[in-house]
């Protein structure tokens, strides 16, 4: 029965690929939309705040500039500043004070207004700064030749000031200093800040002088502008001051929106995953469970067979198992009939061949592999499970084929399938290196000759080794004009000298009737030696080298038989 067989792994790969593509597309669309919403929200929020603050600061600082300009043009102020006599200087301050009171009405930032002339006389028109503080302010302005703004601490209070020189006939006659408590500006910042992620700063001459974020104070505005993602940067009127508003992170509203979108995506992905699992339950888990249950409860008998699953991926495996059972039963019948007609030696030979066949790929081995496939499928290792299904199908068909000789390349290929299964069955215990020469394609070998030897190396040489080191099995060939040598080498636990001597003796005397073989590994090797002798004569056979703790090397010597192509 020929069943069209698709690759289970291919279907799985396409399914996962489609699911991954859907997930990536959804994430991409989500990111693009959320990123756009965040940008628009942040910029809109910052622009509103900056407009309010700039409006307020413009009103206050432009009023300072207006008062300063008006005073610098006032004749009474000029008369006041050019007065050299201290007494007359104080007397003239009354008219200046009237002008200042008229100009500074409804101006919140005019805490302290100080005028002084070139003769060192000064007068405080508002505020409570002492004479010592005023003198210190004058010294700083004159020393640093300040003409726009000043920052100073007086009596443990930080002030920011607006400095204007007053000229008459192109000659400087005095200076106006208007000082504002920095706390008033900070209070304005606190009223305007919408959340903790918003940073406000005031700068002058390209350097931050005030900010609700302490780390910003003293930074260059150029550095802030180049390193900040969201930033509003405005000049405050015609004053020397600049306003910076930066936003470092999304606010709570954006976070809620983000997590809501994540929740929706999670629900959608869960639905997709349910569809995916339903598909593979129908295509994989139910059929493989059915096969395992049938194999575990199978008792054989005339005409008995495991029923097909109806799934093309597994029916090839079921057919292989049924064919194996049928062939084994047929072999047993042949042996039974041979017992009455063949000589004792021939009967022993047939029994050994049957034992070898059953041991090579037995029902027990098949059940173990199917249980591993089930475990892998349960853990989501679908690719490995599919690979083991394919490998087991190959082995069953190969072991039960009718012809006794196959190409060396096919023998090595099947050996590779077998070791793939064993590496999954015993993870991290060993690795296999199989070297396939192109010349093997043209050479014939007896079927299933090398696999039992490799099985011995794995099970008795490496898996049974308690050293904890990763084992290695190396299989390669040496081909000459007349002979073919196949070498199976492992780094397992090896054999002591007395055991090696006993094995060599058993192999050398395999044609004698009174040979007693100890150990399953000896049985397999003796059976292989018997097969080689029956096919090719005493010139060929096995040689074994081993040392305790160093591994075992087995060489199979065969004649070079070319295939008929």
Angle between helices 382-399 and 408-425 (to 10 degrees): 140
Report the C-alpha gap between 396 and 381 in whole angstroms: 23
pLDDT of residue 519 exceeding 50, the answer is no
Helix axes 252-280, 8-73, angle to 10 degrees: 170
pLDDT, one tens digit per residue, over 206-258 is 888 888 888 888 888 888 888 776 777 777 766 677 888 876 654 455 556 66
- The answer on pLDDT for 553 being more than 90 is yes
- Please tell me which residue, 475 or 16, carries the higher pLDDT value: 475
pLDDT given at position 565: 60
Look at residue 236 in the predicted model and tell me its pLDDT.
72
Query: 277 pLDDT band (50/70/90 cuts)?
Result: low
The answer to whether the CB of 210 falls within 8 A of the CB of 233 is: no
163 in helix, strand or coil? strand
CB–CB of 119/87 below 8 Å? no
Whole-structure pTM value: 0.42
Distance CA 391, CA 420 (A): 8
Query: Each residue of 82-100: pLDDT tens digit?
Result: 888 888 888 888 888 888 8
Q: How confident is the model at residue 464 (pLDDT cuts 50, 70, 90)?
A: confident
325: pLDDT confidence band, cut at 50, 70 and 90?
Answer: confident
Confidence of residue 488 (pLDDT cuts 50, 70, 90): very high
User: Cβ of 397: how many Cβ atoms within 10 Å?
Assistant: 16
What pLDDT digit, counting tens, does each position of 40-84 carry?
A: 776 677 677 667 776 776 666 677 777 888 888 888 889 888 888
CB 150 within 8 A of CB 93: no
Domains detected in the chain: 1-250 (3.30.450.20), 285-402 (no CATH), 403-565 (3.30.565.10)
Per-residue DSSP letter, 248: -
Specify the pLDDT at position 476.
94
Q: Please, where are the H alpha helices in 488-546?
A: 497-508, 520-536
| Joined tokens for residue 63 | 């009023």
pLDDT > 70: percent of the chain:
72
Which tokens sit at 539?
A: 């010139």
pLDDT-derived band at 304 (thresholds 50, 70, 90) equals low
Among 98, 146, 102, 154, which Cα is nearest to 130's? 154
Give per-residue pLDDT as tens, 356-392.
Answer: 554 455 565 677 778 788 777 778 777 777 878 877 7
The two three-digit tokens of residue 136, written as one number: 């210190």
Which residues, other chains included, contact 35 with Cβ-Cβ below 8 Å and sequence gap of 6+? Answer: none
Collapsing DSSP to helix, strand or coil, 268 comes out as helix
Residues 311/2, Cβ–Cβ less than 8 Å: no
Q: Write out the two tokens for 479.
A: 């081909």
């Amino acid at each position: 029965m020929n069943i069209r067989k698709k690759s289970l792994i291919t279907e799985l790969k396409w399914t996962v690929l489609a699911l991954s593509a859907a997930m990536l597309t959804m994430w991409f669309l989500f990111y693009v939309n959320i990123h756009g919403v965040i940008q628009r929200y942040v910029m809109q929020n910052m622009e509103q705040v900056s407009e309010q603050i700039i409006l307020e600061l413009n009103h206050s600082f432009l009023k300072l500039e207006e008062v300063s300009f008006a005073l610098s043009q006032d004749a009474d102020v000029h008369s006041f500043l050019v007065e050299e006599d201290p007494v007359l200087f104080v007397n003239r301050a009354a008219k200046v004070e009237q002008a200042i009171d008229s100009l500074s009405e409804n101006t919140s930032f005019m805490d302290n207004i100080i005028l002084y002339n070139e003769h060192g006389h000064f007068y405080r028109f508002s505020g409570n700064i002492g004479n010592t503080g005023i003198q210190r302010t004058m010294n700083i302005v004159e020393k640093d030749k300040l003409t726009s703004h000043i920052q100073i601490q007086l009596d443990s209070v930080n002030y920011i000031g607006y400095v204007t020189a007053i000229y008459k006939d192109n000659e400087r006659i005095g200076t106006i200093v208007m000082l504002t408590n920095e706390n008033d500006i900070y209070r304005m910042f606190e009223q305007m800040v919408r959340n903790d992620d918003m940073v406000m700063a005031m700068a002058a001459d390209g350097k931050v002088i005030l900010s609700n974020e302490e780390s910003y104070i003293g930074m260059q505005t150029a550095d802030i502008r180049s390193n900040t993602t969201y930033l509003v940067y405005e000049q405050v009127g015609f004053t020397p001051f600049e306003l910076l508003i930066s936003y470092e992170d999304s606010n709570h509203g954006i976070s809620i929106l983000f997590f809501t979108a994540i929740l929706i995506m999670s629900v959608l992905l869960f639905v997709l995953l349910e569809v995916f699992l339903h598909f593979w339950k129908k295509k994989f888990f139910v059929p493989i469970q059915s096969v395992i249950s049938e194999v575990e409860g199978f008792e054989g008998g005339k005409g008995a067979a495991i029923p097909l699953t109806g799934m093309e991926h597994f029916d090839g495996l079921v057919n292989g198992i049924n064919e194996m059972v049928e062939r084994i039963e047929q072999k047993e019948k042949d042996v039974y009939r041979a017992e009455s007609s063949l000589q004792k030696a021939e009967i022993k030979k047939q029994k050994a061949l049957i034992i070898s066949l059953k041991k090579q790929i037995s029902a027990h081995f098949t059940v173990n592999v199917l249980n591993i496939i089930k475990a892998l499928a349960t853990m989501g290792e679908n690719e490995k499970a599919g690979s083991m299904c394919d490998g087991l199908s190959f082995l069953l068909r190969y072991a039960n084929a009718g012809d006794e000789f196959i190409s060396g390349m096919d023998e090595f290929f099947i050996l590779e399938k077998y070791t793939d299964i064993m590496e999954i069955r015993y993870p991290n215990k060993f690795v296999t290196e199989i070297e396939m020469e192109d010349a093997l394609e043209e050479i014939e070998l007896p079927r299933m000759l090398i696999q039992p030897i490799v099985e011995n190396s794995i099970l008795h040489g490496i898996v049974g080794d308690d050293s904890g080191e990763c084992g290695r099995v190396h299989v390669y060939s040496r081909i000459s004009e007349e002979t073919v040598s196949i070498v199976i080498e492992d780094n397992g636990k090896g054999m002591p000298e007395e055991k090696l001597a006993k094995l060599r003796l058993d192999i050398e005397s395999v044609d004698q009737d009174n040979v007693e073989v100890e150990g399953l590994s000896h049985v397999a090797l003796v059976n292989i030696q018997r097969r080689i002798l029956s096919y090719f004569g005493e010139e060929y056979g096995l040689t074994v080298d081993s040392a305790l703790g160093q591994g075992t090397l087995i060489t199979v010597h065969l004649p070079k038989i070319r295939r008929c192509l």
